[in-house]
Amino acid sequence: MALDVIVHRKRPAPSRAKKAGKKQRRRRRYYKMPSEEYYYEFRFDDDIGDDMVEVSYEFDFDSIDRYEMLEEFGPSDTDPAVAEARDRSTGETVAVKRVRPSQGDGGAERLCAVVREARCLDACLGHSSTLQLRGMAADDKTGDLFIVTEQLLGSGCGGASTLRSRLTRPFSEAETRALMRQLLGAVEKMHGAGVTHRDINPDNIVVGASGVFKVSGFRCAITPAERFLGEPHPPMGALRYCSPHQLNGLRCYCPAEDVWALGCVMAELLAVAPLFTADAQEDLLGETIDLRDEIVNFGADAFDGVLEEVSLAGRELLAGLLAFDASERPTAADALKHRWFAENDVAKAKSRVVRAYKQR
């Protein structure tokens, strides 16, 4: 059984020139749950201007019967729940995330989220540090949808192991360098596919079954030119990892927002505590402004008080990732070319030379 999900989205038309006197088309609200044809379709009231056109995406879903559930889902009917299962076709153990659009209020929003997450995961296939999508499934009896991914360490109702759970001590600079290389590589792949994550934080960096850290949690992800009808502003990620522009209430969908979040993660790895600690959005914005002033005045030395043992190259990269102006932050690809990563390669080369000499 295949189930089609039709999701209407908008993107800029080839020409943005508005024709004088032309009226905007108005779309009526329409939300349809599973029927005999087993498909979801929804539309929302929205003004379609001359500078926008509508685009539809279709997704085929396998039957959930393809998977043998190895454990039961959690008790919640509305929040996503994750359980382990076995793919009857391949024998692979996978993680299955259930979403129930038909349960409770906000079904349309949950449907938006699950389709967005699936599209972004599909776009990021192939990188070892990005959660790998195995497929999507549906239950034709209940209308439940399922995102199927590779198995995670500790996945299931108890929750997958995350970077947050591993932050029990400061990471060494070498450990931080190795992890940041993985994360920047994943984000480079993501941005190359046109996806901006918008919620990178230690809770959304999970541990795969092989022990490799992987970026997950694409609930807030989006592409710069597209958004779901009915979602004038997609949800914002964890506040302490949001860029100054996001905290200031601007619609920021550009890759530089992910680079800022990676800077926050890098600082937290080294200090074992969040770089920004305020709870209120306005207070967090104030903290980012304070950091901006410190970096402007002292450059890489702005981190001397908390990261004194980190090399100058490491602090330089961190200052770049956390540049207040988004246009001044390096891309993920450029960050990987920073001398901080080159220093590690030189150290490895020297180590190989020393070992070879000792073996003579």
Catalytic residues: 199
Q: Which amino acid is at 200?
A: I
Q: CA-CA distance, 182 to 176, in Å (whole number)?
A: 10
Q: CA-CA distance, 213 to 235, in Å (whole number)?
A: 24
Question: 147 is written with which tokens?
Answer: 């995102």
Inter-axis angle of helices 256-271 and 173-192, nearest 10: 160
Biggest CA–CA distance in the chain, Å, is 85
- The distance of Cα 222 from the centroid of its chain, to the nearest Å, equals 9
Q: CA-CA distance, 256 to 259, in Å (whole number)?
A: 5
Confirm if 318 and 330 have CB atoms less than 8 A apart.
no
Q: Which amino acid is at 201?
A: N
Confirm if 138 and 111 have CB atoms less than 8 A apart.
no
Q: CA-CA distance, 94 to 72, in Å (whole number)?
A: 14
Beta strands 3-12; 39-43: pairing state: parallel
Beta strands 133-138; 52-63: pairing state: parallel
Confirm if 314 and 173 have CB atoms less than 8 A apart.
yes
